[in-house]
């Protein structure tokens, strides 16, 4: 028990003394993950939608080539950024500029570099999620949209994407929670996130384990709160499970349940009854 008492004491001491460092680290982590995920989603939606642009053999050659090149570029982007670790992407992007320009150009802000890396990385994953989300929408929905005369873009905007968004919301949540944790690799380009706070504090105090306990608790708190909020958002998008009958509307008084007076009971039943009686 003595060890636990000591741990508690150490944790409390670190917390009180280094609270501003931990807190600002946490704030940066949340902010970076949030911005990165939102921008990543935008990239994903744009790429996913561009990927879904249809073409048929009758289209002019120029259009077909354009669409094929576009798909190839998006494919290459997805494979490249999904296929390499984010920590390397960060280093790669951050040091490439000064290397090629002999130090003349560099990222002035670590924030800009970090946001770029996280959102481009998330975008690669989201592109595939959006593609899946679009595929999973019932093809009948597209036909329904075409049948009332909507263009491909209109069908996407008003019918397909809203449904695709609902389908991939759990994926977006997943990405956000992964980003909350994985942004910790940004310490490589000296981004001061929650994990960097740990490294800073440990460097000064050598209290590795107590600080790790704080980190664990901190990350878990952030992800649990996020999970909760994401579920609420999903429920909201799902819409209420009940609806109100618009009985107050004057038009409905004349309608009620429809029955054609001329048809009688005969027609409400199965067709063979009718033939039989004739």
Partner 1 sequence: MDKEPILEVRHLSKTFGTNPVLKDIDFDICTGDVISIIGPSGSGKSTLLRCINLLEIPTAGSILFRGKDITDLGKDVFSYRAKVGMVFQSFNLFDNLSVMDNCTLGQVRVLHRDREEAEEYALQILSRVGMAPYCNARPRQLSGGQKQRVAIARAMALDPEVILFDEPTSALDPELVGEVLDVMRDLAEQGMTMAVVTHEMAFARQVSSRVVFMDEGVIMEEGAPDELFTDPKNDRTREFLGRYLSR
Q: Does 259 bind partner 1 (CB under 8 A)?
A: yes
Q: How far apart (Å, rounded) are the C-alpha atoms in residues 39 and 119?
A: 5
Burial class (CB within 10 angstroms; exposed 0-12, middle 13-18, buried 19+) of 211: buried
Q: How far apart (Å, rounded) are the C-alpha atoms in residues 158 and 156?
A: 6
Stretch of residues binding partner 1 (CB under 8 A), selected from 21-29, 98-106, 153-161, 198-206: 153-161
Of the pair 79, 273, the CB lying nearest partner 1 is at 273
Nearest to 199 by CA among 9, 25, 20, 23: 25
Residues 38-57, one symbol each (x = binds partner 1 by CB under 8 A, - = not), give ------------------x-
Is residue 206 left, alpha or beta, with left meaning phi > 0 and alpha meaning psi from -120 to 50? Answer: left
Q: Does 168 bind partner 1 (CB under 8 A)?
A: no
Q: Least separation, in Å, of the C-beta of 52 and partner 1? A: 17
Of positions 143, 204, 217, 233, contacts partner 1 by CB under 8 A: 143
Of positions 7, 166, 213, 223, contacts partner 1 by CB under 8 A: 166
Of positions 1, 5, 104, 148, contacts partner 1 by CB under 8 A: 148
Of the pair 4, 258, the CB lying nearest partner 1 is at 258
Phi, psi for 102 (deg, rounded to 5): 55, 40
Phi, psi for 222 (deg, rounded to 5): -60, -45
Q: Does 16 bind partner 1 (CB under 8 A)?
A: no
Q: Does 163 bind partner 1 (CB under 8 A)?
A: yes
Nearest to 127 by CA among 44, 26, 17, 210: 44
Q: How far apart (Å, rounded) are the C-alpha atoms in residues 71 and 50?
A: 8
Of positions 145, 196, 207, 214, contacts partner 1 by CB under 8 A: 145
Q: Does 268 bind partner 1 (CB under 8 A)?
A: yes
Q: Least separation, in Å, of the C-beta of 53 and partner 1? A: 17
Q: How far apart (Å, rounded) are the C-alpha atoms in residues 183 and 191?
A: 9
Q: Least separation, in Å, of the C-beta of 40 and partner 1? A: 23
Q: Does 60 bind partner 1 (CB under 8 A)?
A: no
Q: Least separation, in Å, of the C-beta of 91 and partner 1? A: 42
Sign of CA dihedral 95, 100, 101, 103: positive
Sign of CA dihedral 56, 60, 65, 66: negative
Q: Does 130 bind partner 1 (CB under 8 A)?
A: no
Specify the residue for token string 């107050």: 248
Binding site for partner 1 (CB under 8 A): 56, 58, 138, 140-141, 143-151, 154, 158-159, 162-163, 166, 239, 241-247, 249, 251-252, 254-260, 262-263, 267-276
């Amino acid at each position: 028990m003595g060890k636990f008492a000591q741990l508690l004491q150490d944790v409390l001491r670190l917390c009180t003394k280094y609270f501003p460092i931990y807190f600002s680290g946490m704030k940066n982590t949340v902010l970076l993950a949030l911005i990165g995920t939102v921008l990543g989603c935008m990239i994903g939606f744009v790429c996913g939608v561009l990927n879904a642009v249809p073409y048929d053999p009758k289209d002019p050659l120029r259009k077909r080539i354009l669409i094929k090149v576009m798909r190839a570029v998006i494919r290459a982007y997805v494979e490249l950024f999904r296929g390499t670790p984010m920590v390397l992407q960060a280093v790669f992007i951050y040091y490439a500029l000064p290397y090629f320009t002999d130090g003349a150009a560099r990222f002035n802000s670590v924030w800009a570099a970090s946001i770029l890396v996280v959102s481009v990385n998330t975008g690669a994953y989201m592109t595939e999620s959006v593609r899946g989300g679009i595929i999973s929408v019932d093809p009948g929905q597209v036909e329904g949209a075409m049948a009332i005369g909507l263009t491909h873009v209109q069908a996407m905007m008003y019918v397909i994407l809203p449904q695709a968004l609902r389908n991939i919301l759990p994926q977006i949540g997943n990405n956000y929670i992964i980003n909350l944790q994985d942004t910790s690799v940004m310490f490589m380009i000296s981004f001061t996130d929650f994990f960097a706070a740990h490294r800073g504090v440990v460097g000064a105090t050598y209290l590795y384990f107590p600080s790790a306990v704080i980190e664990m608790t901190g990350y878990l708190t952030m992800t649990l709160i996020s999970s909760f909020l994401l579920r609420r958002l999903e429920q909201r998008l799902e819409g209420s499970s009940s609806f109100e009958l618009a009985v107050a509307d004057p038009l409905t008084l004349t309608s009620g349940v429809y029955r054609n007076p001329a048809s009688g009971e005969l027609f409400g039943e199965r067709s063979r009854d009718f033939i039989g009686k004739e």
